[in-house]
Amino acid sequence: MASHRKSRPVGTRVAGIRTPALATAALTSVALLSQSANAAPADDRPSLEEVEKKVDDLYRQAESATDNYNAAKEKTTKQRKQVDTLLEDVAQRTQKLNEAREELGSFAAAQYRTGAAAPSTATLLLADSPQDYFDQTQLMGRLTSRQKGAVDDYVSEQSTTMKKRQEASQSLQTLTETQSDLKTAKATVQKKLADARELLSELTAQEKARLAAIERRKEQEAARKAAELAQQQAAAQKAAQGAAQEATAPQESTSTAPDSSYATKAAKVLAFARAQIGKPYVWGATGPDSYDCSGLTQAAWKAAGVDLPRVTYDQVNAGTTVSLADAQPGDLVFFYDDISHVGLYIGNGMMIHAPKPGAYVREESIYYDGESGIHSVVRPA
């Protein structure tokens, strides 16, 4: 007996409603598209950690470019003085040549009046050099010793003046090239700082708060490392004092501890540096109202009567390198492989430095950017 049961339509139920095959396919496609959309990232913005690293890198690059700017600026100042001196010298020598030319003209005119010389005075004055003229006309034989001396002096002064003019021209060319380097370095600094500001401006309020929290954690870790170094240095100093007391005979010291004269200078250095705390970091600045990192260290040691070079990669060679464990107040602490930052060690793992644009001169752990950031320690005097 045949069944009277109706066949079930092809399709599936959705919320209790039967759907035809086409509707099922459409719903499946929508579901797949929805899953794909949910799996895709909301945007391609960098993570907060990536932004932080990029900003730090830009600030470091700006500091490196600042050193190039400072070096070019210092070089430009010296070269400009040299050019001014050379041009002044050339002007004075040219005046002397004009006076000597007039004197020679009067000699030639006198010779012409007495009939001693057939050639005209105009021929003498238009000659390439008096020496050439007198050699050609054999006039030298008819001149007095005074007149001959005047000719010799003129020829010598003319040769020297030409050399000085060439030297001044070369110096001017060098100055122009250095000024171009100065302009390039300045543009590089400004570009790096602008890029850093743009990255920071794109952060939301929530992201800025998270970034501040990351910075606080870094500061706490840096303070912990500074405290560890302070303990190590204190223990080493105590051990050295004990060994000295137990010694029965004087021995040659191999310690890098500074003598009393260094300690006196260092005290002046740190007194100056502490007085600058709170003043803004400004790239290229050497005080008194603002500083960059090497401008601060240079000014601080200047207060103790010691002249340091202007830029970090010259300052690092302006003293004796010591180990971090032997660092003493007043020493210079340099950072990064390109030696683009420097601070003044004040003891206990701390330093005074001008950190970066937007910041102020302050006391901070030498581990402010991690232990790997420390390049070397140098004792200037």
Contact 318/258 with Cβ under 8 angstroms? Answer: no
Nearest alpha carbon to residue 309 among 280, 332, 282: 332
- Pick the catalytic residue from 168, 182, 293, 304: 293
**Residue 5 per-residue DSSP state:** P
- Rounded to whole angstroms, how far apart are CA atoms 341 and 331? 14
Is 341 catalytic? The answer is: yes
Which residue out of 73, 341, 375, 379 is catalytically annotated? 341
Report CA 278 to chain centroid distance, whole Å.
22
Across-strand partners of 378?
Answer: 321, 332
Give the amino acid at 78.
K
Give the CA radius of gyration of the chain: 39
**Is 185 within 8 Å of 69 (Cβ atoms)?**
yes
Secondary structure (3-state) at 6: coil
The one catalytic residue among 353, 356, 375, 379: 353
Q: Is residue 293 among the annotated active site residues?
A: yes
Amino acid at 380: P
Helix axes 48-113, 145-201, angle to 10 degrees: 160
- Catalytic residue numbers, as ranges: 293, 341, 353
